[in-house]
Amino acid sequence: MTKVTPETASSSADAALHKVADGRVEKPGTSAADQHIDNARKEKRGKWVRYAMMLAYQGKNYYGMQVQKGDTPAIENILLRCMHDLGYITSEEAETPYKFYFQRAARTDRAVSAVRQVCSMMLPTNKEFKDQGADKLNELLPADIRVMGIRRATKTFNAQKDCDSRSYSYTLPSFAFANLTELTKSDYRITPETIAEVDSVLNTFVGTHNFFNYTSRREFGDASCKRFIISFKCDKPFTYRDSFSGREYEFITINIRGQSFMLHQIRKMIGMTIAITRGYAYKSDIQRSFDGQRMDVPKAPGLGLLLEQVHYERYDKRWSKSHETLNDWGEEAEAKIKKLKEDLIVKEILDTEIAQSSMMEWLGSLLHHNFIVDPFSEEKAPTSAIAMAKHSAKVAAEALESEAKEEKEEVVEVTEKEKVAAQA
């Protein structure tokens, strides 16, 4: 039996991560080193116990949290590869994570980041994994994926099923909530009145509703579309100085907590809120969107969405006397999370928004957005009354401008003819 050294594991992991950087993810179990790791792993098998692992990651380089097939890089692909290279799991388990009961608390979509994601898994009792696993994994993982801690959990713990609720934040330029009569530029500053208006719209989503219009390929009668929103409100606005231009931009963060969320649900709720605040839709359209009529709800850009925390109040209340809590990972972990969030995630969101103006570009598309969809009609559906009024005003203004231009051209033409006649 050949002993697996840290150097062997590190070399294998480095090679895999180089392939990740090139957009390729190597499958474990294909080399002699992998076989040595598997054999060493199997020798250590004893009593199996559950662990909870807390992760933080910048998602811009990945196609979501969940394992992806082929060479598509995802957070779990990288994590499992490193766990395998350190001898914590076999190549078979890395390929089929359910074999060691691996489960994440929340799925995150492509480019979405997280700071307190939790995964559960069942592994042979390993004090070294619990005490040093986070540090060892972080040595192999790329800098944009961090293991923030590992704790022993109950024998039936499931990160997804035992999670009470999930909290997300969405950070965007405050000018997204400017009225159409106001200029949306870098020096825009949101007023307390506008924030109160936005909060009023957000509060309409709180409670249990049918969100079939806020995801894709779901019907009104699908029971899974009923979701419970606990809270939804704005934080205080803040300014951020662009190091390139020296300008200060104002941003605002919206915090949402719900029992669970569907694909695109949060981005569509943000999109509807912006549309209403800017005057493209009515506040009453939110209630209509919960009814049976199909609506095309605008989806806000993905940039700015962040999984803040997954909550385990019931678990902690029941097991805190015999196990470490999963809602509170301690002051040291929180300090690391806060720094990582500011340096790795939030700064990237702000810099990217300023450089690419994704929100400004998206706002331009709202004018032509059709909210009402009739699946049995071949005609183009009309927008809301307010949106149509705004569009009509724009068309009228363009028509007046065109008429004025034509009149000016006619005057110039007449003047030229008079000059020619006088010279004759």
Residue 307 and residue 115 in contact, taking contact as beta carbons nearer than 8 Å: yes
**Residue 335 CA from chain centroid, whole number:** 22
Tokens of 333: 């972990």
CA–CA separation, 110 and 74 (whole Å): 9
Given 14, 34, 71, 109, which residue is catalytic? 109
CA–CA separation, 60 and 251 (whole Å): 20
22 labelled catalytic: no
* Binding-site sequence positions for substrate: 168
CA–CA separation, 348 and 178 (whole Å): 24
Residue 243 and residue 269 in contact, taking contact as beta carbons nearer than 8 Å: no
Q: How many CB atoms lie within 10 A of CB 185?
A: 12
Residue 212 and residue 225 in contact, taking contact as beta carbons nearer than 8 Å: yes
Tokens of 18: 């180089």
**Residue 42 CA from chain centroid, whole number:** 38
* Binding-site sequence positions: 168
Contacts of 249 (CB under 8 A, 6+ apart): 173, 186, 239, 240, 241, 242, 350, 354
User: The dihedral of CA 199, 211, 105, 16: what is its sign?
Assistant: negative
Q: How many residues make up the chain in this entry?
A: 424
DSSP character string of 104-145:
ESS---TT-EEEEEEEEEEEE--HHHHHHHHHHHHHHS-TTE
**Residue 113 CA from chain centroid, whole number:** 6
Instruction: Give me the active site residues, please.
Output: 109
